[in-house]
Structure 1
Amino acid sequence: MPLSDLTRRHQSALASYCRTGQYNAIPGVHAGHVTHYRRLVYNVVDDMLQSAYPLTHHLLKAKEWKALVQEFFSNHPCQSPQVWYMPGELYQYMLQVQHPLLQQYDCLQELLWLEWTEVELFMMEDRPVEYTPDGDLLTDALVLNPEHRLQRFRYPVHLKPARQITANDQGDYFLVLYRKPDTGEVSFLNLSPVLAHMLELLAEGPQPVSELIRQSCAAWQLPLTPDIEAAGSAFFSQALESGLIPGFKIKKDT
């Protein structure tokens, strides 16, 4: 049964109070008890954000974190009906308003992206892909796990505690996050620029390691040496073991 306009207004008033802390009398609500509603709702939001962003929570001062949560909870009308997505809207909100904390902590935007992407990958819908576990690493075409994110960073937020990162750490860092097919666990691998380029090529379609190495050496104007071939083979062997590469392209009968 649809809610009456009056009931809807009362519910909206209670929701507004829970978000902002500004209370206007609501019929049927005991003024002495209403603070408990806000405390409970706020604590749920705060707990969810801390769970999604533990590294960010550790980086910020306690007062900064509390003020950020209160500001977000009061000012941002969350759009998604899925509760788990709410922390993602905090990340989007901070970018939209160009939050001062992003200027105060140079690595914060990348740290937020890293933490939210881990949640998003864990919760994302399955993206099935066809492959066979049998094949030759060098000559058979590899299949890349579609449940991944490849990212370039200015700061090593995946390698160092955020509080230890300084301006001297600026550089080019490459990272791939992915969800393991067998367990659903989200993991990551640190990458060199050349390995990141190989994964970009592989994302375009299955290819053998030998071809990925050849194309990347040409793009980076590197000599195709035995050492480079060995390093590339070692990386993709590890990627096969870890689930970043689930297997090989299935050969169609002709």
Structure 2
Amino acid sequence: MADTLREQQLSMTGFIRDPLANPAPPGIEARRLAVYRQLFFGNMQSLLAGSFPVLHASLGGTQWQALIEDFYTNHRCQTPLFTEVAGELVGYLQTRVDLPGWVVELAHYEWIETVLLLSDDAEPEHDPDGDLLEGVPLLSNVAVPLAYTWPVSHVGPGNIPLQAPTEPTLLLAHRGADHKVRFSRLAPLAHALLVSIQEQQRSGREHLAALAALAGTEQQAIQSQGLELMHKLRSQGVLRISL
């Protein structure tokens, strides 16, 4: 009985996922199967359209539906949680080398906002008055430096880029104390500093020295600017100093 039930379940889910490649399960009329298919696929399409409103509008109805149908048919989600399905779509899009580059990056840009909104990670223990140069700066758990080839913050239905600009789009995504996620443009130094802090634990002075070496300049040339930047980021809640 258990094997029969499992076979029935696999037959039903296979047909609902991809009715062109899988035969309809026996004993269920076509009208009911069409209703099941529409309910499952329609819910998935609606869920993802709500998670990626700009991408949905930019692709248009036909291309969006074809994309979600392929995702629904061929991708195997690794999570049972509806709140994590958007991340599954981002992972799927990264395998679609046939799509324009802005599609993948725009999806990631929209997804990051959801990730930060839903994050319940506790902030690391820190010293609110810690020395920014001698202490070890830490990035807030609800702040992410981002770098995109495409101008994702300006892509929309009336502004689809045909080629990538020469300069990358550098952004900071941060959820503030009001629980709202905001994106701000970053200068190259600010982005490089935040990535360095994200990837390595060392003193603020050491971070700035590494950036100066990378830029081929003296540390003093960027230390005052870097220190001012770290003060600003700490006041915004983006940086903390480790205990």
TM normalised by structure 2 equals 0.80
1:249 counterpart = 2:239 = no
Number of positions where the alignment pairs a residue of Structure 1 with one of Structure 2: 238
Distance 2:164 2:195 in 1: 28
1:232 counterpart = 2:231 = no
Structure 1 unmatched runs, 5+: none
After superposition, what is the alpha-carbon deviation per residue over 1:146-195, rounded to whole angstroms, capped at 9, x for unaligned? 4544333222213x224243426232332333455x45544433222222
Distance 1:175 1:16 in 2: 41
Q: Which residue matches 2:17?
A: 19
Q: Please identify, of 137-146 and 33-42, the stretch whose mean Cα deviation from structure 2 is larger.
A: 137-146
Q: Which residue matches 2:73?
A: 74
Structure 2 unmatched runs, 5+: none
1:94 counterpart = 2:93 = yes
The Cα shift of 1:231 comes to 4.0
Determine which of 170, 173, 178 is the counterpart of 1:177.
173
1:193 counterpart = 2:188 = yes
Amino acid at match of 2:14: S
The Cα shift of 1:64 comes to 0.4
1:55 counterpart = 2:54 = yes
Distance 1:188 1:128 in 2: 20
Contact 1:217 1:224 in 2 (8 A): yes
Determine which of 146, 155, 159 is the counterpart of 1:151.
146
The Cα shift of 1:51 comes to 1.9
Determine which of 108, 121, 141 is the counterpart of 1:113.
108
Contact 1:152 1:175 in 2 (8 A): yes
Distance 1:76 1:136 in 2: 48
The Cα shift of 1:239 comes to 1.7
Q: Kindly, what percent of the aligned residue pairs are identical? A: 23
Amino acid at match of 2:71: F
Distance 1:43 1:8 in 2: 25
TM normalised by structure 1 equals 0.77
Q: Please identify, of 49-58 and 114-123, the stretch whose mean Cα deviation from structure 2 is larger.
A: 114-123
Contact 2:102 2:152 in 1 (8 A): yes
1:37 counterpart = 2:36 = yes
Question: Residue 214 and residue 32 in structure 1: after superposition, are their counterparts in 2 closer, same or farther (change >3 A)?
Answer: closer
Q: Which residue matches 1:8?
A: 6
The Cα shift of 1:130 comes to 1.3
Distance 1:64 1:156 in 2: 21
SS of structure 1 residue aligned to 2:46: helix
